[in-house]
Amino acid sequence: MEHTQGSVHAIVEKQRAYFRTGATLDVGFRIEQLKKLRKAVLDHQKMLGEALYADLRKSPVEAYLCDIGPVIAEVDEILKGLRKWARPERHFSGLMCFPSTSTAVYKMPYGVSLIISPFNFPILLTLGVLAASISGGNTAVLKTSSKSAASTEALKKMIADTFPEEYVTVVDGGHDVADMCLSERFDKIFYTGSPAVAKHVLEMASKNLTSVALELGGETGNWCIVRKDADVRDAARKIAFFKLCNAGQICINVNQIAVAEEIAEPFLDELKKEFVRQIGERAEENPDYPKLITEKVYEKCERLTEQYRDRVIFGGTGSREEVKFSPTILYPVGIDEEIVRHELFCPLLPVVPFKDDAVETVLDVIAGREHPLSMYVFTADKKWAKRVMRTLQFGGGCINEVCIHMMVKGVPFNGTGHSGMGAYHGEWGFREFTHPQTVLTGRTRMNLPLREHPYSGKAGERKMKLLKWFER
């Protein structure tokens, strides 16, 4: 259906009325809904896989590895821990609150949530966030991407088959429909996408002081540093795998590499070999290689490749008909060139050479730009690597590895600054979709006049002594 402001408003009000019934507050109810979600994903797995192929040409293996399987894993982690996470915390009220002895912190749902998901992982980044919203006891309106139309249609069918509209529903459409949603009063907004659009989301949310979580790619992209003591074959193998995944359309992907001049030649040779080994001489001809989401992205790849044609050392070819562009290495690229100052979100891979003993200068440049979502370093010097990870500002990262930090159970996935705010996955997602509510239980007997007037004279002096003693 084509949505109007009126129809979107009706959906939100229907969900608000349902939330106020209190049905979602029961943890047993949430567990039941999460099990329904899990079953729905398994029952509709074929349809979801076909949709991912239609939108992004994802092979069945990549579709399960990156989109469908992680949703199941996310739901399983939540089911395992939800009862414990949702349990109220009990605290001793303290002497200052005597005669009260008991204070509880309840983990309360926000209410009606809006989840705005992107095109690149349209199943995972919709249903994974939905699982967190359900775990917190919220209702959810899912605004999916118009760019991944087949996945949106599959999600609409799956969600409609599984949940009533007043609990969870999918709203499709373009930016105009997204703005209709943002014009409504939601209690929680979770947006995944670009920093530019995130600013608009925050501005709209500020009108109602709505709590917002943002998962963004980062304004200046994610760096990977390969030092002279790195295992170049291992680094090349992992970076090649990651850049091929979803044709580079991943928010945590390597945007640019800084490689030590001392090992640049052997590293680049290994990187070329790995691209060929994993996908073939011309990736755009391999049916397992994903497509770009739109022709506009293809044209960007084509334009930048032509701009750097004299520095293309691998790739640089594509199929406009298939909307596929090969992984393309650009070398050498200066650290201040425009191409390494913005997130590319495509298969292009600029490589910046540096002298290994000047690596701290590279770190200073990275620190001076907007915070990335991810950071990767390859080196044998673990002490140096851990110092980098402890001192630079970014969402998450790996030492001698790529991307799989986001697959670890019990840890948050998040960004900072231009790469986002808030966190989710497992208990962190439960926390993101709940707010702590402190409630002290008072007593009707033995109440002391300590906090009451008078504050002067002998009574005031006694009260001051007691206050200082209680505060110790």
DSSP secondary structure of 267-328: HHHHHHHHHHHHH-S-GGG-TTSPPPSSHHHHHHHHHHHHHTGGGEEE---EETTTTEE--E
Q: What is residue 164's three-state secondary structure?
A: coil
224 and 239 Cβ atoms separated by less than 8 Å: yes
415 and 216 Cβ atoms separated by less than 8 Å: yes
Amino acid making up residue 345 = F
Nearest C-alpha neighbor of 410 from the set 397, 399, 424: 424
Strand partners, 141: 114, 169
Question: Could you identify the residue written with the tokens 């008072």?
Answer: 442
Give the active site residue among 74, 77, 215, 219. 215
Both tokens of 375, joined, read: 């950071």
Nearest C-alpha neighbor of 134 from the set 24, 16, 12: 24
Q: Is 215 a catalytic residue?
A: yes
CA–CA dist 205, 209 (Å, integer) = 6
Give the active site residue among 66, 181, 251, 403. 251
Strand partners, 353: 259
CA–CA dist 395, 415 (Å, integer) = 4
Question: Could you identify the residue written with the tokens 């966190």?
Answer: 423
CA–CA dist 76, 70 (Å, integer) = 10
CA–CA dist 121, 116 (Å, integer) = 12
Q: Is 301 a catalytic residue?
A: no
Q: What are the backbone dihedrals phi and psi of residue 351, each rounded to the nearest 5 degrees, phi first?
A: -125, 125
CA–CA dist 423, 229 (Å, integer) = 34
Both tokens of 81, joined, read: 């821990």
12 and 141 Cβ atoms separated by less than 8 Å: yes
CA–chain centroid gap for 37, Å, is 20
Which residues participate in catalysis according to the annotation? 215, 251
